[in-house]
Amino acid sequence: MSAVLRGLGTAVPAHAVTNDELAQQLDTNDEWIRTRTGIAQRYVADSEIATSDLAVEAGAAALKSADSASVGAVVVATSTPDYSLPATAPLVAARLDLGTVPAFDVGAVCSGFVYALASGAGMIAAGIAETVLVIGAEIMSRIVDPSDRGTAVLFGDGAGAVVLSAGEAGEPGAVGPFDLGSDGARADLLIVPAGGSRRRVDNQVLDERADCLTMDGREVYRQAVRRMVESSRVVLARAGLDVAEVDRFVGHQANARILDAVAKRLGITEERRVSNVERYGNTSAASIPLALADAGLQPGETVLLTAFGAGMSWGSTVLVWPDITPL
């Protein structure tokens, strides 16, 4: 039994912040940000909006896109949950009137959507659920240090969701095979040091801004390129596909230069690369569904997905694009 993608929906906050607006508070400028990252603006949620709010909006759109009123499970990929506990998925399931279905979060940061997709597909393959709503949702603006010009410019808020349901292996929309991996030995490269059980938030944490995300950008760049290239090759080999058979390449939208470096190494020509990082910045677990919705994918196109992020963790999968209307 395969898990088949039946619908896709997205949501972003109402307000976008341009590079010029950021440059008013930070020692940076539009040209620097664009040349280093490819980002021109990012959506930023108002303070009263939480991750579940964006997840609900994207989830509702995905259900409508799939013409589906009920699901057997909800999986939310996020690294910016509403609360430390409970998980975000039960809140989302309740607000979408999906009943008392199993609902849980997946924490794999920027690879979260691919991991959640694998979890949803696994539940379907195991007969645990027939239909699964898989959501990637983040409010990254709430964990970045607004005074850190190295990271504050990179991230944005948003959500994307898909509906998976049981189907045939060969049918359009069938997801997989997958390649997933992690390297916790390099967890320090991209980390929010405090606020978890390792270090409680106290005044010293707030002074140090240790409750915010820190990143070793250079090493993350290297690791991202290497891991996404390797993982893409593995998943293509598992699928029995040559890179020439990939119609569209949808990498995690962290940075235009990382995406180009990965695509070049894989031998994927420019017109086959999907990029919307210019408008959204890095939306972590939401980036892949947001890119899928923006890509103008045609039914029958072979799509390669690959992601990399904090953990370190990475994941890739392939699917033939189904005949759906993203909402």
Partner 1 sequence: MTVYDKVKEILVEKFGVEEDEVKPEATFEDLDLDSLDLVEFALAAEEELGVRISDEEAEELDTLDDTVKLLEEKGATVEGG
- Neighbour tally for 220: CB within 10 Å: 21
Least distance in angstroms from the C-beta of 258 to partner 1: 9
Give 40 or 205: the residue with its C-beta nearer to partner 1. Answer: 40
110 counts as catalytic: yes
Burial label for 47, CB within 10 Å (0-12, 13-18, 19+), is exposed
Least distance in angstroms from the C-beta of 186 to partner 1: 13
Beta-carbon contacts of 86 under 8 Å, excluding residues fewer than 6 positions away, are none
Residues 258-277 that bind partner 1 (CB under 8 A): 261
Q: Quick one: the chain helix, strand, coil %, rounded to 5?
A: 40, 25, 35
Q: Tell me which DSSP letter residue 43 carries.
A: E
Residue 225 found at the interface with partner 1 (CB under 8 A): yes
29 counts as catalytic: no
Residue 104 found at the interface with partner 1 (CB under 8 A): no
Residue 35 found at the interface with partner 1 (CB under 8 A): yes
The residue with tokens 């290239």 is 229
Residue 297 found at the interface with partner 1 (CB under 8 A): no
Q: For partner 1, which stretch binds (CB under 8 A), given 61-69, 164-172, 201-209, 221-229? A: 221-229
252 counts as catalytic: yes
Residue 221 found at the interface with partner 1 (CB under 8 A): yes
Least distance in angstroms from the C-beta of 154 to partner 1: 12
Cα dihedral 177, 183, 187, 188 in deg (nearest 10): -130
Least distance in angstroms from the C-beta of 199 to partner 1: 25
Give 104 or 221: the residue with its C-beta nearer to partner 1. Answer: 221
- The Cα–Cα gap between 60 and 64 comes to 6
- The Cα–Cα gap between 38 and 240 comes to 33
- The Cα–Cα gap between 209 and 212 comes to 6
Size of the site for partner 1 (CB under 8 A): 11
Least distance in angstroms from the C-beta of 298 to partner 1: 32
Q: Tell me which DSSP letter residue 127 carries.
A: T
Burial label for 154, CB within 10 Å (0-12, 13-18, 19+), is buried
Residue 219 found at the interface with partner 1 (CB under 8 A): yes
Residue of 36, 142, 233, 238 interacting with partner 1 (CB under 8 A): 36
Of 110, 212, 255, 276, which residue is the catalytic one?
Answer: 110
Give me the residues that bind partner 1 (CB under 8 A), please: 35-36, 216, 218-219, 221-222, 225-226, 257, 261
**Known catalytic residues?**
110, 252, 282
